[in-house]
Every structure is written in structure tokens, then in C-alpha cells.
Amino acid sequence: MSDESRPRGDKSSTKSRILAAAITLFADQGVAATGVRAIAAAADVHPSLIIHYFGTKDGLRVACDKHVAAFVREHKQQVMRSAGRFDPAALRDLQDGPPLLRYLARTLADGSPHTAALVDEMVNDAVGYLAEGVASGLVRETDYPYERAALLAIWSLGALALHEHVQRLLGVDLTNLDGVAAMESTYGRAASELLGNGIYRT
């Protein structure tokens, strides 16, 4: 069935397919090297639908950034509200979806003017979910909530941006881990120890 003949209720599914295809191709090839037609082919939609939903390829990239940031935020909120175990890789259960970690690693290093907006959004999100962690008893209180959130976000995102060096030094590929593997890795154990002695209550 062509997208032109799909029922109107299938709009969200079409947009989701486009986002998933874009995230995968941007992660693999970079934004500059990926064309709208290639994304449309991967999503099995007509290129005009990408323009219809997102305006431009740049608009699609911004939507991808927001999708990834929302996934991180929702996951961390869930952990903080339940006073659950810290996940140093930030994202889990990604094996069946688009490569969000590889997308983040690529987009953080591509020099786009959108990168600052993505980092700002993730820092502001961290302020919110760390406050929830304080409320749930998982996280220690601080006089510097914004600064702490900024440092933690920069640390996590920096590790992703330097993932090749993390793999070289620690033998862990941060762009290809699920939650359990992250916790059991040398990176996960060291990160848990550092944060357990710092912001997390033990």
C-alpha cells in the first residue's frame, strides 16, 4: 500500500518510520552525506512526505535530535522515580530500534549548529530528572543542581563522542550496548563506583 492511500490514522506510523530511517542513516553516514531520497527509500515512503512532515532535511534532523533527547529523558525519569539502579550508558533496550547511541555519537561530533541546542536540552532534562532522583531518595541533594546536571550530561555525552577511545582504553563499545551489558562492562562498574561515591545514595 502506498503512503498516499494509507488511512489518515496511520500518520504517526509513517512519521515514526521516517524518524527511524533517518536516525539509522544519519548514524551510519552522517547528516551531510545522507539525502532525503535515501531516507525516503529506507522508510518506504515518497520523498515528498518527508518535506510534508518535517519541512527540510534540517527540520528532520532537529526532529531526530528531539526524539533521542525525549527517549533519554523518559528513561532517566523512570529510573529516578523508582529509585532504580543507575544505568551509565543512559539508554537501554535499544537492540530492536534505531541506533540512538550511534546517532548521538555521530551528531555530537558533526559540528552542526544544532548540537548546542541538543546538549542544552539534555542538560535541562537532567536538571529535572535528577530533582526527581532527589525526591525519590536515589540522589543526594546539592546546592548546584544545574551545574551538577551539566557536568553529568557533558560527561556522558563526551564519553559517547569519544567512544572510539573508550573502546580502545576500556574495551567497551558504548554505541552498541544494551542496559545489562552496560552495567556489567568495565565502564559500567567504574562509572557506578564513581557516581555511587558522589551523587548517588548507597
| 15-24 mean pLDDT | 96
CB atoms near residue 65 (< 10 Å): 23
pLDDT of 14 higher than 80: yes
pTM of the model: 0.78
Q: Which fold has domain 3-196?
A: Tetracycline Repressor; domain 2 (1.10.357)
pLDDT of 87 higher than 80: no
pLDDT at residue 25 in the model: 96
Compare 177 and 101 and report the one with higher pLDDT. Answer: 101
pLDDT of 177 higher than 90: no
Summary mean pLDDT of the chain:
82
Compare 52 and 95 and report the one with higher pLDDT. Answer: 52
- Could you give the CA distance from residue 44 to residue 152 in angstroms, rounded to a whole number? 38
**Residue-range domain boundaries for the chain:** 3-196
Place of cell 494509507: 6
Q: Which of 51-65, 82-96, 112-126, 132-146 has the highest mean pLDDT?
A: 51-65
- Could you give the CA distance from residue 99 to residue 26 in angstroms, rounded to a whole number? 10
pLDDT at residue 62 in the model: 95
The dihedral through the CA atoms of 72, 92, 188, 65 has a sign that is negative
